[in-house]
Every structure is written in structure tokens, then in C-alpha cells.
């Protein structure tokens, strides 16, 4: 209240023909009225009600207040929640505001439907929580290819095109693959991997780790060869048409590599310096062409040879 408005209010409250003395009752009424007026002017309206008919969803939504106010607690940029109930609400940023209404750019919501009873108030900034799971009752047959699932609308999905999802009916029946299209109410998955079979209509959808495409490196050898640490996790391929030795040196516990005998020459496994090699039946020679053999380091100085072996 300005100084001029204050004195105008005082003048309006004084009784006509004021004499040198004012009755106590008149003075009490003046003080009471002044206090009520000053208190009312100090209040900021941070909660408003609206009867505008609005559909729950994202985007720009306008609401007209039931009662206008000249001292509104919202400004452009404020974040507000507009609620019909605890189950049906919208939240977003104020983009326009007057004494009689406001417009909200809704970015999150809960529930659905059209309502005409709203309470509007300030709320905190939007958090980072997202919907990372959805449930679907779409009837689909387990198999590869594009599969589209519909679900309850979500304005804050945690996946996008390119995400890797699994749609599971149970631990035994599921499909997974890469998202090709997505909306607030559906997702299409290019299914590449499946488990189980059948046509099912109850799915839980969520993100899973994308399986790696395992490719082993191949180290081709035409003669005698001593393996190295670069062979760990890979394949040594012997192509010789005559007999050769494959020397196993000391290594790192837990490491392994494969030996592919693609040639016709027999491969004999030999212990290198500081290491012992063991095998079932003391067999240390490849059993023939196309034999596959694994070398596994039980400890740094004990290597286990297993696979297509002979004595």
C-alpha cells in the first residue's frame, strides 16, 4: 500500500465532523479496519482454483481462475502443479500469467482424462526420475522381427530409438532387440533374440544390456610356435601340413586361448621354461585335422590342455 493510499484509507475511516476527542469505540474500529486492510494487502495468492475443462497431457494448457487476484504468487518461469486429485495432475512451467488466469507448458503428468476442477500451486523443479519399465497387454507371438507393444501413456520414458529392450512374459518367455520407433504409448522393437515360444498378452518391458558380438582374433601359424599374452582370449590356428610344436610358456592365472588345427600336420604341446602342462590321460598331441584344443592357465606356471587330444 502506498503512503497516499494509506492516508486516504484513514480519512475514509474517520467519523464525520471529528472533534477534539474521538470515542474509544471509534478508535478501536479504525485500528481494526486498518490492520485487516494492511494484512490483506500483504498476502500473496500462491494457490488458485480453476474450473477450466482441460485434458491431462503434455503441451500448453490454459486455466482461468475462479477468482481474480491482484497479488499472484506466480510469474512467468515459475513451476506449478495443477491437480484434480493425487492421482490426476500435471506439472510444468508458467509461460503466461494474468490476474485472471495462466498458461502452463506441461512436461510431466499422472493419470488421464478431462477435468473441470483444479487446484494450482507452486512446486519444485522436475526431478530426473524416468519410466524405465512399462507393462503391455498386446497379444504377440514370440519370434524375431518388428514387434509393437502398447502401454499406459508416459510423458517421461527412459528409452529412445536405438535403446535395447527386453519384453518378458516370464523368465522362460521373452523377446529382446533394438527400439526402432517409440511414443508415449507404444514402442516397436526389432527383435533379434528370443527365448520360449507361443502367443502371449502379458509383457514387462525394460532396458537390458545389449549382448556383445563375440569375435575371436585369429593368429595363423605355419610352423613351430610359442604362444604369447596377445593370444589370450583368441585363437591360434596351425595350418602346417607337417608336424609342429606348440610351446606353452608361463602365463597369467585364469587366462586361456584356443588352438585350431586346420592343417593336416599334428601339433604337439610342449612346456616352456618355468611351466608345467597337464592334461587328462597325459595326452598332449592333436587328435587330427580340425581338432579344437583349449589352453587354460590354472596358475601362472601350470597350464591345463584339453580338447581333441591323443597320446
Query: What pLDDT sits at residue 153?
Result: 87
Query: What pLDDT sits at residue 69?
Result: 80
DSSP β-ladder status, 79-83 and 89-97: antiparallel
CA 301 to CA 303: how far, in whole Å? 7
Alpha-helical (H) ranges within the chain are 3-13, 24-42
Query: What pLDDT sits at residue 178?
Result: 92
Query: What's the CATH fold of domain 133-207?
Result: Elongation Factor Tu (Ef-tu); domain 3 (2.40.30)
pTM of the model: 0.39
Enter the CATH code of domain 218-310: 2.60.120.640
DSSP β-ladder status, 302-307 and 276-278: parallel
Query: What pLDDT sits at residue 194?
Result: 87
Query: What pLDDT sits at residue 179?
Result: 94
The strand pairing partners of 296, in sequence order, are 256, 304
Mean pLDDT by 10 residues, the chain (311 residues): 57 57 62 56 70 94 89 85 93 92 92 94 72 92 93 84 94 92 93 89 92 78 95 94 98 94 98 96 96 96 97 95
Sign of CA dihedral 257, 261, 263, 267: positive
Residue with grid cell 499406459, as numbered in its chain: 152
Calculate the CA 6 to chain-centre distance.
57
Please calculate the CA angle 270-276-279 and round it to the nearest 5 degrees.
Answer: 75
How many other β-carbons are positioned within 10 Å of the β-carbon of residue 224? Answer: 15
- Pull the grid cell for residue 6: 494509506
Compute CA distances 198 → 20, 61, 175, 194, whole Å: 100, 44, 11, 11
Query: What pLDDT sits at residue 25?
Result: 65
* Half-sphere exposure of residue 243: CA atoms within 13 angstroms, side-chain side: 6
- Pull the grid cell for residue 205: 518391458
Sign of CA dihedral 59, 60, 66, 71: positive
- Pull the grid cell for residue 160: 529412445
CA 262 to CA 174: how far, in whole Å? 38
Domain range summary for the chain, segments of one domain joined by +: 3-42, 47-122, 133-207, 218-310
Query: What pLDDT sits at residue 16?
Result: 60
For the chain, give the number of residues.
Answer: 311
DSSP β-ladder status, 225-226 and 244-248: parallel
Amino acid at each position: 500500500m502506498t503512503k497516499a493510499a494509506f492516508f486516504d484509507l484513514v480519512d475514509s475511516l474517520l467519523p464525520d465532523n471529528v472533534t477534539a476527542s474521538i470515542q474509544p469505540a471509534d478508535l478501536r474500529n479504525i485500528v481494526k479496519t486498518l490492520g485487516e486492510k494492511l494484512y490483506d494487502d500483504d498476502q500473496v495468492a500462491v494457490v488458485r482454483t480453476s474450473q477450466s475443462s482441460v485434458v491431462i497431457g503434455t503441451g500448453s494448457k490454459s486455466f482461468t481462475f475462479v477468482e481474480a487476484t491482484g497479488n499472484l504468487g506466480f510469474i512467468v518461469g515459475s513451476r506449478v502443479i495443477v491437480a484434480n486429485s493425487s492421482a490426476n495432475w500435471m506439472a510444468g512451467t508458467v509461460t503466461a500469467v494474468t490476474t485472471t488466469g495462466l498458461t502452463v507448458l506441461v512436461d510431466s503428468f499422472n493419470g488421464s482424462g478431462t477435468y473441470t476442477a483444479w487446484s494450482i500451486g507452486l512446486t519444485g523443479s522436475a526431478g530426473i526420475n524416468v519410466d524405465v519399465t512399462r507393462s503391455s497387454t498386446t497379444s504377440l507371438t514370440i519370434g524375431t522381427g518388428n514387434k509393437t507393444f502398447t502401454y499406459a501413456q508416459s510423458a517421461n520414458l527412459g528409452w529412445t530409438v536405438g535403446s535395447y529392450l527386453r519384453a518378458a512374459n516370464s523368465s522362460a518367455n521373452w523377446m529382446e532387440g533394438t527400439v526402432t520407433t517409440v511414443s508415449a504409448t507404444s514402442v516397436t522393437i526389432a527383435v533379434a533374440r528370443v527365448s520360449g515360444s507361443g502367443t502371449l498378452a502379458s509383457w514387462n518391458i525394460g532396458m537390458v544390456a545389449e549382448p556383445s558380438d563375440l569375435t575371436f582374433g585369429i593368429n595363423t601359424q605355419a610352423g613351430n610356435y610359442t604362444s604369447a599374452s596377445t593370444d589370450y582370449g583368441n585363437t591360434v590356428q596351425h595350418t602346417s601340413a607337417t608336424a609342429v610344436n606348440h610351446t606353452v610358456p608361463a602365463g597369467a592365472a585364469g587366462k586361456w586361448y584356443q588352438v585350431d588345427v586346420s592343417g593336416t600336420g599334428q601339433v604337439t604341446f610342449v612346456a616352456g621354461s618355468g611351466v608345467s602342462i597337464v592334461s587328462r590321460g597325459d595326452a598332449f598331441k592333436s587328435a587330427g585335422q580340425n581338432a579344437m584344443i583349449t589352453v587354460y592357465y590354472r596358475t601362472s606356471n601350470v597350464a591345463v590342455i584339453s580338447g581333441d587330444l591323443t597320446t
